[in-house]
Amino acid sequence: MIKVFVTLTCPHCPTAAITAFKFAVESDLIKAEVIDSGEFPQLALKYGVMGVPKIVINEKVEFVGAVPENLFLQQLLLALQ
Per-residue pLDDT of the chain (81 residues; tens, 9 = 90+): 999 999 999 999 999 999 999 999 999 999 999 999 999 999 999 999 999 999 999 999 999 999 999 999 999 999 988
CATH number assigned to the domain comprising residue 33: 3.40.30.10
Q: What is the pTM of this model?
A: 0.95
Order the strands of the 32-36 sheet from edge to edge: 32-36, 2-6, 54-57, 61-64
Domain hosting 61: range is 2-80
E strands present in the chain: 2-6, 32-36, 54-57, 61-64
Q: Work out how many domains the chain is built from and give that number.
A: 1
